[in-house]
Amino acid sequence: MPPVETYFNSRCPVCSTEIGRCRNVAEGAGCAMAWHDINEMPEALARFGVDVEAVRYRLHVIDREGKLRVGVPAFAALWSELPRHRWLARIAMQPLLLPLWTGLYEGLAWVLYRWNRRRARRASQAA
């Protein structure tokens, strides 16, 4: 089976922390997963029509079937591979709860994306 591939924005401290935590769990359990920083591979998802800014905005995961998942479904695909996290995947994808989780995720993703863009602008102006 191909590994689940996670594409994330390492320049976001919140994103990096969560992905680092998931990565540690996966590695500790011997899960076959791949982790890709979109800042090092900006064209990585071009075959799906996804640009670097889209991945900086939302988590992207290619599941074992080769399907691209974005946002809450991406987290569900990631969690479904991790020991002690599979229950999160099931809850996240419950049809009655999915709109709630999606709304919460989209709000948080928007705030983090804007915050990280401001941080990047300030860093480039200071340089």
- Map residue 116 onto helix, strand or coil: helix
In this prediction, residue 127 carries a pLDDT of 77
Nearest one of 44, 54, 46 to 5, comparing CA atoms: 44
Q: What is the pLDDT of residue 13?
A: 94
Q: Write down the pLDDT at residue 2.
A: 84
pLDDT tens, residue by residue, 90-108: 999 999 999 999 999 999 9
Task: Count CA atoms within 13 Å of residue 32 on its CB side.
Answer: 5
Predicted confidence at residue 1, as pLDDT, reads 76
Per the CB < 8 A criterion, the answer to whether 70 and 56 are in contact is: no
pTM of the model: 0.93
pLDDT in tens, 111-124: 999 999 999 899 88
The rounded average pLDDT for each run of 10 residues, N- to C-terminus, in the chain (127 residues) is 93 95 96 96 96 97 97 97 96 96 97 94 87
